[in-house]
Amino acid sequence: MPITTCVFDAYGTLFDVGAAAAQAAKEPEHPALATVWPAIARDWRLKQLQYTWLRAVAGRHCDFWQVTQDGLDWALEANKVTAPATRTRLLELYWELAAYPEVPAMLAALKDRGLHTAILSNGSPAMLDAAVQSAGIGDLLDKVLSVEDVGVFKPHTRVYDLVGQHFGCARNEVLFVSSNGWDAAGAAGYGFHTVWVNRAGEPLDRLYAAPQHVLPDLTKIPELA
């Protein structure tokens, strides 16, 4: 069946999760970030994801804002950054993450072809709404779907079920795009056509399924839909 619906992970896929640390490091009020901000960005993201997986396995769900704060606290302690004002600033900036440069044109091309577009994210509705509005892409998305509707983080199948429930489409009508290899694998195992956006050139995850496509960025997504 032809692709009718293109669904995107949010953080790291449409929105640059390293942008908060990079921006704060440029501000003179946060000198401790000058040399360690790349490590903080990396550790923050890693712990954020690890905490979603562990909470899903343990059945201890909370919203994504909580794991975002918890991940940052770990990253700051690991990198010996102690200023409360720096923590506050980093969290503020997470609500204003920049979209990657190719995102608006890519989404517009999909809409011009008559395809449905959506976000499917671990993010809470408030966080996702803020990111979408900050990036100015709200008019290019038909729906923003959050795991809060099912109370468990990706890659649980109940999360991927949200796409069919909203759009009424079959699994093989969906092109799912994520910068997370494990998410692309989870979606592939679920039955979606999948793209892993591998910006960092990482090895393929050894999991139960694999994405059909691997791209360095989002530019060529309309060619696959």
Which DSSP helix (H) or strand (E) runs through 121? strand 116-121
User: Could you report the per-residue pLDDT of 79-100, keeping only the tens digit for each?
Assistant: 999 999 999 999 999 999 999 9
Q: What is the pLDDT of residues 16-70, one digit of tens each?
A: 999 999 999 999 999 999 999 999 999 999 999 999 999 999 999 999 999 999 9
Backbone angles phi, psi at 14, to 5 degrees: -90, -35
d(CA 112, CA 106): 10
The pTM for the full model equals: 0.96
Q: Count the Cβ atoms, other than its own, within 10 Å of residue 80.
A: 8
- List, by residue number, the catalytic residues: 9
Domains of the chain as residue ranges with CATH? 5-15+98-224 (3.40.50.1000), 19-94 (1.10.150.240)
